[in-house]
Amino acid sequence: MTAYFSRLVTRRPVGSQTHSPNRHQTRRLGGPVRLLLGVAGLALLAGCASEPETRPCPRAVVLKDASRQVKFNGAGRDLTDVLFEAQIQTGALSCEYDENVLDIDLPVTVTASRGPANSDRLANIRYFVAIAQTNETVLARESFDITIPFPGNRTRVAGQEGIGQVITLPAGQDGGDYRIYVGLELTHDELDYNRANY
């Protein structure tokens, strides 16, 4: 079984202020990253051409403990020590079958709010996307970095990412046998902070 990850990135301000389409910045990152999932003993067979196109998509899940990040400047935990707060959400996942190959598109939005300690007007955030079986066995995981700037007087900005995933399915499996997990990459302290405060 193999899977590929790729993404399309868009930045946009969010909040009460309006913005015009020419403020959107879109860029394509390099070629897809190939992840060999190493599931031993599974033969990769082409799906039957007569198989109906009603086969299910995987379900996308944002992990609750990893859906939010509060990044502090150093060891301080006061409001004045906050560099940024970030949240991650997913949109509606879509998928398409080509015999035994499943092509998945997953919109991801990372929203950052600038904190009082943020002097460089940037939020450097890392998040992950993982493919797992329904028994929660993780088969592949890829991390992505996103830098969100706070231009002008904006204090809340979103980075929109379109994550493409291509999975070669073993015989007898479909998208319903998989989950797509999404979350922000947190330190142990940040995870403990989330569990204590949210």
pLDDT per position as a tens digit, 41-76 = 223 333 445 555 689 999 999 999 999 999 999 888
Give the Cα separation of 11 and 23 in Å (integer): 8
What's the whole-model pTM score?
0.75
pLDDT for res 36 = 29
Mean pLDDT by 10 residues, the chain (198 residues): 50 35 30 31 39 83 97 91 98 95 94 97 96 90 94 92 91 95 97 93
Give the Cα separation of 167 and 98 in Å (integer): 10
pLDDT for res 74 = 87
pLDDT for res 143 = 94
Alpha-carbon 177 to chain mean position = 20
